[in-house]
Structure 1
């Protein structure tokens, strides 16, 4: 079931132990722009919003220094998290320090309030199983009841381990008061899809599965995000072809029966020719992204048609439209990606290839490796692809410093690109930036964070 609520307000207190921020995000606005000096917690705030949406990320929330955060939604719902309660972990003398426990409160529009608490499981953290997992997955060697040796040759305490690696802790190392976080809270958060685009976006890592203690865990090296997205597009193109094949088989199976059905009215010859011409143009577009041979499906339209011929052709054109419609979503996204990228890149163009996904060709027609893209070109391509293909309709997109490595002229066009993509994919976004070129004319969408930002 689609959820229509939108995030309309963000309040955080004690961020970094110092800052109180309040952000109003009108439901009618497609985006807002956060700006402020370095050190006021823009990135941390985006990460906190992500942690409080979709799948609840308790370790990440623990790690973030804040005292209270409140998210307000368009239907009147409020979700709050505070760190008012604390506990100690009996893992050694060092841990006679305070570790926060989290309090979650969900206030529904009907006045109902649902609460839960969460923290770390001290017994699990002290277990041989956890020590074995930390040794294999984190490369930490236990050298005492509360001391770990890192691969760099320095030691950290268990308390430091909790905060440094909290986003990778197995779920068994967490506890939630007397039981699990209330299912109604988890269901609410699961309905609020959030997609974070971080500043480090050119490489991707496959993290070890932190939901269970796994034996024989292996590490995966960093890979280029451009190359990763090229493989992703190959898969998406293959999926679209498979869906088209299923639709075609079903329509072809029932075609004889449907074409023999009696009709009292037949479409005009002009309407048939017009529809056929439109489908040929669509075939050309699909051929350009290697999804279809534009000559496949072409037929010879008679100059003069009998009623039975019009019936046969109209049924054929209706079936063809249904078959081609299986490509409509990916065609719209790929076309917009190419349109934007190919107005930015110099002396080269981006093409779509069914077998390789993304293909780069020089002005002279020479194929170039994707690794030959500059840092700015990679940032542009990765950012656009991520927005087009990895964001779910209705999601809130958080974009941290989109200006990284982009030429000033590209920065000036970013919001325009964002609007075009968001209207196609159907999402809203929060953009954190230091760039006046990004903000441009959108002063009415800007929210200042921290001191000295009134200019």
Structure 2
């Protein structure tokens, strides 16, 4: 068996409910899939040919977190979804519709107008009372919705040429949401969800990385308007996001420094016992802080020379007390950068081990800087599709995944060279060890699994 990943304290991380098993029946009217995911495994790889429903399976898992994505569950054809968790809780979702036919489900031939769907949620467990909730809903006509989307897109592209394209696209999305009512579907459908079920679902953290990860239209989720970000690539958006995070770290450091400086005299007067600290302890601590300061200087967060001091060759007790208090304060100040430093360092390590003839550097004002092997600055948009996919995927995993979340990664191999595919799980393990998350990886590529083939669940047709 392959080595299992554990948290730094030796225990598997357990944030909320840890998913241990997923079973879906009659997916697409013909497949029954089961994915076992032991609680002490950090990742599982779901492998299979096109058309067996790997992406739909990930969609269903992502849809059950609170607030439940009712529209997504409605539009995936399946019979039952069963999710088991590490606390022995079991959540079962039954989807019954007037158009469901186990032996035939053709989206191009079926007429979905007026289809009624009943979704039934049942939550059970040895230490909880049974919770039952059901909702009857009307499904959209997918073909009509597609035609309407095409009409609205054509209108946005061809009309009102004097209006900037990004504003026309933003208005198109508003019109489409108004037309389908999708914004209010979840609110209406989940209004009467029992509190116990709502609380359980709210305890599940899921982060999805789908095949459209290079699209830059997800900016509104980060609090930005579409009109301001539609022209940016996802790489450029993440560069801006990193610049913001670096700025936030500097603000936190400044507040911590001001508080420590304000109380320094009082703490120095009370630190007479520090005079017993050995000179070697002082020098070792100072050297460690200089190394940390050097690393922070590499990502433009501190000036390496700003806090250089000269330590006397021989120290009096009062000097040792002063220096020890000073070093204690410096340690607290530098600790404010620890979280972002570890993530940025790993980002650079992974990306610069992949990119050829160029390297990624960190800039306080711009987030990312891209330099050639001749130290010429390159535009971020000059990155190839594969390089963009690699950078976006690694950044997303490092900076956007909550601790303890379940990460759903769809087709990480997109645009990646085989050698990069082979290194993906190794990179994922390093990132998961730092951020502490579990992941389900859906892929067509056996190269992704590599020596981790024992973590691979193969999906295929069930016996007819």
Same fold (TM over 0.5): yes
Other structure's SS at 1:233 match:
helix
Query: Partner of 1:181 in structure 2?
Result: 193
* Number of residues of Structure 1 aligned to a counterpart in Structure 2: 411
Query: Partner of 1:398 in structure 2?
Result: 408
TM-superposed CA distance for 1:104, in Å, is 1.2
Contact 1:139 1:151 in 2 (8 A): no
1:404-429: per-residue Cα shift (whole Å, max 9, x none)? Answer: 11111111111100000000000011
The partner residue of 1:77 within 68, 73, 89 is 89
> Comparing both structures, which one devotes a greater share of its residues to strand?
1
1:58-86: per-residue Cα shift (whole Å, max 9, x none)? Answer: 11111111111011001101111112366
Point out where structure 2 has 5 or more consecutive residues left out of the alignment. Answer: 1-13, 100-110, 156-175
Contact 1:397 1:429 in 2 (8 A): yes
TM-superposed CA distance for 1:317, in Å, is 0.3
1:114-133: per-residue Cα shift (whole Å, max 9, x none)? Answer: 111234489xx9xxxxxxxx
Other structure's SS at 1:397 match:
strand
Determine the C-alpha separation between the residues in 1 that align with 2:250 and 2:113.
60
Within-5 A mapping of 1:159-308: 169-171=182-184, 175-176=188-189, 179-206=191-218, 221=230, 223-264=232-273, 266-308=276-318
Determine the C-alpha separation between the residues in 1 that align with 2:411 and 2:401.
18
1:147-198: per-residue Cα shift (whole Å, max 9, x none)? Answer: x965559xxxxxxxxxx97997122686338x52122212211111111111
The partner residue of 1:450 within 452, 455, 460 is 460
TM-superposed CA distance for 1:51, in Å, is 0.5
Query: Partner of 1:428 in structure 2?
Result: 438
Determine the C-alpha separation between the residues in 1 that align with 2:342 and 2:219.
32
User: Is 1:118–2:135 an aligned residue pair?
Assistant: yes
Determine the C-alpha separation between the residues in 1 that align with 2:362 and 2:125.
47
Contact 2:272 2:318 in 1 (8 A): no
Contact 1:86 1:101 in 2 (8 A): no
Query: Partner of 2:354 in structure 1?
Result: 344
Other structure's SS at 2:46 match:
strand
Contact 2:16 2:203 in 1 (8 A): no
> Comparing both structures, which one devotes a greater share of its residues to helix?
2
Determine the C-alpha separation between the residues in 2 that align with 1:274 and 1:184.
54
Determine the C-alpha separation between the residues in 2 that align with 1:233 and 1:279.
24
Distance 1:201 1:208, change over 3 A: closer
TM-superposed CA distance for 1:262, in Å, is 4.7
Other structure's SS at 1:246 match:
helix
Other structure's SS at 1:420 match:
helix
Other structure's SS at 2:344 match:
helix
Query: Partner of 2:8 in structure 1?
Result: none
Contact 2:273 2:321 in 1 (8 A): no
The partner residue of 1:17 within 29, 34, 40 is 29
Determine the C-alpha separation between the residues in 2 that align with 1:54 and 1:387.
21
Query: Partner of 2:6 in structure 1?
Result: none
Determine the C-alpha separation between the residues in 2 that align with 1:167 and 1:49.
23
Query: Partner of 2:123 in structure 1?
Result: 106
Contact 1:119 1:174 in 2 (8 A): no
Distance 1:75 1:195, change over 3 A: same
Determine the C-alpha separation between the residues in 2 that align with 1:121 and 1:95.
10
Query: Partner of 1:8 in structure 2?
Result: 20
Distance 1:109 1:406, change over 3 A: same
1:321-369: per-residue Cα shift (whole Å, max 9, x none)? Answer: 0000000010000000101111111111100000000100111111001
Determine the C-alpha separation between the residues in 2 that align with 1:418 and 1:207.
25
User: Is 1:355–2:372 an aligned residue pair?
Assistant: no
Determine the C-alpha separation between the residues in 1 that align with 2:228 and 2:338.
38
Worse-matched range after superposition: 295-304 or 182-191: 182-191
TM-superposed CA distance for 1:276, in Å, is 0.3
Distance 1:167 1:374, change over 3 A: farther
Determine the C-alpha separation between the residues in 1 that align with 2:218 and 2:435.
26
The partner residue of 1:61 within 73, 80, 87 is 73
Other structure's SS at 2:127 match:
coil
Determine the C-alpha separation between the residues in 2 that align with 1:149 and 1:363.
47
TM-superposed CA distance for 1:300, in Å, is 1.0
Distance 1:423 1:151, change over 3 A: closer
Contact 2:20 2:36 in 1 (8 A): yes
